[in-house]
Amino acid sequence: MTRSSTRVPPILLLFVLVPLAVEGFWVFWPALQGFWLALTNWDGVSPPRFVGLGNYARMLDDPVFHTAATNTAIWLVLFGGLSAVGGLGLAVLLQKERRGVGVYRAALFVPVVFSLVATSLIWQVLYQPGGIFDSSPLADPDTAIYAVLVPALWRQVGYVMVLYLAGLKGIDPGLYEAATLDGATAWERFRHITWPQLGSVNSVVLSVIVIDSLRSFDVVWSMTRGGPYHSSELLSTYMYSTAFQSLKLGYASALAVVIFVLAFGVIVTYLVRAFREN
Amino acid sequence: MSSRTSGRVFHAVAGTISVLWLLPIAAVLVTAVRGFDDIAANGLASFPRSFTLAGFADAWTNGGSGAMWNSVLVTVPTVFLSLALSSAAAYALSRFAIPGRRTIILLMLAGNLLPPQVLLVPVSKLTELLGIYDTLFALVVVQVGFGLGFYTFVLQGFMRAMPNEVQEAATIDGAGPVQIFWRIVLPMTRPALAALAALAFTWIFNDLLWAITVLRSSSVMPVTPALLALQGQYVSNWNVIAAGSVIAAIPTVAVFLRFQRHFISGLAVGAVK
């Protein structure tokens, strides 16, 4: 009956096979179909015709794809980078247990539980002309992507902060006391005690922000639908509108594969780490 | 710097950031209880000159109540089924020598890490093929399938850490594997299940992408996608839109406040493992 025994009771095989079959049917099987559809020009009505790598070749000449790819890169750097830096900064600030610190942590965390749709409506109210701005920054193609990024950051920073707070908990407070006695400045304590101990959390945060950046969809979709004039388009929103509004299902599948390829390295790193722990 | 001054500096900095963080929420709460005429006449940024719950009534009666019910019908079964299936899988994979167990665990986790975009077109077509497109049932099964890998991974890690002795003692007493799962392992897994349930509730309740992929009719839309429709319907009725966002946020905020500790530990465990 223990892990070392050789015979596994048959009922336990069902315990594994049923969930595996559900995931296989709704995830693995559709994923394989998605990779196949990316090689076709399917429109959802007539049977899909094989076009090889034609969809990928088409991206090279597609200006909207270029905008979406550039915006996705901006998103990785700004959404990912700023939420990591901000989350770490706030975690270090709120690291020590002291009076009132729970309230501050909760205040920064509250937006994490809102849906991104609710978050974007909140910010749309703030962006309305006659409020903080004379004209909505969402309506200007030059600023739309950044106007969408701010609410996404507002929500993500608290999440990253929680990840770092969990990591900082593992650091022995005695190290800080010793360093303070030796006259170390706050920066020196961070540089020589905190940072070296955050190695594994940093790699977790890196995977989380890359995966979250590439998955980001809701906030852009609810605020701008990728507009005006595709100026705030991400690969994810372009993929969705190509599939379900333009009904170019083959091309949309190829766009999805591009997102997968970008996420691939991070997914593998995440799995390798999971494998080591098992 | 004396410790008292440094304490003051700390509270000034942390307090200012917290207030700034909460300011958008405060602004929306104020907007939600203003009258339409007040906002139209004085602008969104003006000091409120009215107090009314009309915005809430409008948002609630124009689709809000139906959408909330749809959300319940999706979220409750999805959380329940996900945790039931994944805890069964986690039990078998963590406590028994299932052939290829490591590979199975990682394969299941890998499925959850896939960008959902890869699945949208095939999943939408699959639901059409099965005749369940545009039903809440489709949304439930899709989300159960997609979430299973992550829940199984977290739960099997938790169950592996349990001491073997309890299981051995129960075996000697003649308990079968199913009884051990039900009477011993599941109760001991309760903290992890609570954390995952709180997380899963927020994720599923807040979902937009799967809902707009397998649903079309406004009558079946849960709260999150229904909010988008509300925005289209009440263009520039900012009190109604603000009230709608407040209503949509209440369930997840309530779960967070009630299960705060589980929630935070779940987030940390989920990512660090």
B212 located within any domain: yes
What tens digit of pLDDT does each residue of A36-45 get? Answer: 999 999 988 8
CA distance A45 to chain B (A): 11
- Cβ-defined contact of A121 to B244 (cutoff 8 Å): yes
B130 located within any domain: yes
Q: How many domains does chain B have?
A: 1
| Strand, coil or helix: A133 | strand
In the block, tokens 């639901």 appear at: B127
What tens digit of pLDDT does each residue of A7-33 get? Answer: 788 889 999 999 999 999 999 999 999
What tens digit of pLDDT does each residue of B151-160 get? Answer: 999 999 889 8
What's the pLDDT score for residue B270? 57
* B250 HSE (CA, 13 A, CB side): 13
* B77 HSE (CA, 13 A, CB side): 14
Q: Which residue of B has its CA nearest to A264?
A: B114
Helix segments in chain A, DSSP class H: 10-23, 29-37, 54-60, 63-74, 81-93, 101-109, 116-127, 144-169, 173-181, 186-189, 195-197, 199-215, 218-223, 235-244, 249-277
Least confident piece of the model among A142-151, A157-166, A191-200, B7-16: A191-200
B103 located within any domain: yes
Whole-number Å distance between alpha carbons of B239 and B227:
13
The DSSP-derived string for B252-265 is: HHHHHHHTHHHHHH
Q: What is the ipTM of this complex?
A: 0.90
Task: Kindly tell me if the per-residue pLDDT of B235 is higher than 90.
Answer: no
Q: Is A268 on the interface with B (CB under 8 A)?
A: no
Instruction: Compute the CA torsion angle A267, A269, A270, A276 (nearest 10 deg).
Output: 140
What's the pLDDT score for residue A118? 87
- Cβ-defined contact of B271 to A35 (cutoff 8 Å): no
Distance (Å) of CA B237 to CA A133, A139, B29, B53, B233: 18, 18, 14, 14, 9
Task: Kindly tell me if the per-residue pLDDT of A97 is higher than 80.
Answer: yes
CA distance A223 to chain B (A): 9
Nearest to A251 by CA among A48, A38, A86: A38
Residue A155 near residue A111 (C-beta atoms within 8 A): yes
B268 located within any domain: yes
What's the pLDDT score for residue A269? 85
Task: Kindly tell me if the per-residue pLDDT of A4 is higher than 80.
Answer: no
Least confident piece of the model among A165-169, A260-264, B44-48, B122-126: B44-48
What tens digit of pLDDT does each residue of A194-207 get? Answer: 888 888 888 888 88
Least confident piece of the model among A203-207, A253-257, B169-173, B239-243: B169-173
CATH superfamily of A55-277: MetI-like (1.10.3720.10)
Q: Domain map of chain A by residue range? A: 55-277
Q: CB A225: neighbour CB atoms within 10 A?
A: 16
What's the pLDDT score for residue A1? 43
Task: Kindly tell me if the per-residue pLDDT of A209 is higher than 80.
Answer: yes
Overall average pLDDT of the A238-257 stretch: 95
Q: CB B20: neighbour CB atoms within 10 A?
A: 12
Mean pLDDT, all residues of chain A: 89
B63 located within any domain: yes
Mean pLDDT, all residues of chain B: 89
Structural domain range at position B140: 56-272
| Two tokens, residue A193 | 């005690």
B179 located within any domain: yes
Contact list, B242 vs chain A (CB under 8 Å): 121-122, 125
Residues constituting chain A: 278
Whole-number Å distance between alpha carbons of B199 and B176:
32
Task: Kindly tell me if the per-residue pLDDT of B1 is higher than 60.
Answer: no
Q: Which residues pair with A129 in a beta bridge?
A: A133
Overall average pLDDT of the A133-138 stretch: 85
Percent of chain B scoring above 90 in pLDDT? 54
What's the pLDDT score for residue B272? 45
Whole-number Å distance between alpha carbons of A255 and A243:
10
Q: For residue B159, what is the domain's CATH number? A: 1.10.3720.10
What's the pLDDT score for residue B209? 96
DSSP state of B218: G
B127: CB partners within 8 A, 6+ apart: B133, B138, B142, B214
Q: CB B176: neighbour CB atoms within 10 A?
A: 13
B18 located within any domain: no
CA distance B31 to chain A (A): 8
Contact list, B21 vs chain A (CB under 8 Å): 107-108, 110-111, 154, 158
Whole-number Å distance between alpha carbons of A200 and B272:
8
Percent of chain A scoring above 70 in pLDDT? 97
Please, which pLDDT band fits residue A130 given cuts at 50, 70 and 90? Answer: confident
What's the pLDDT score for residue A203? 85
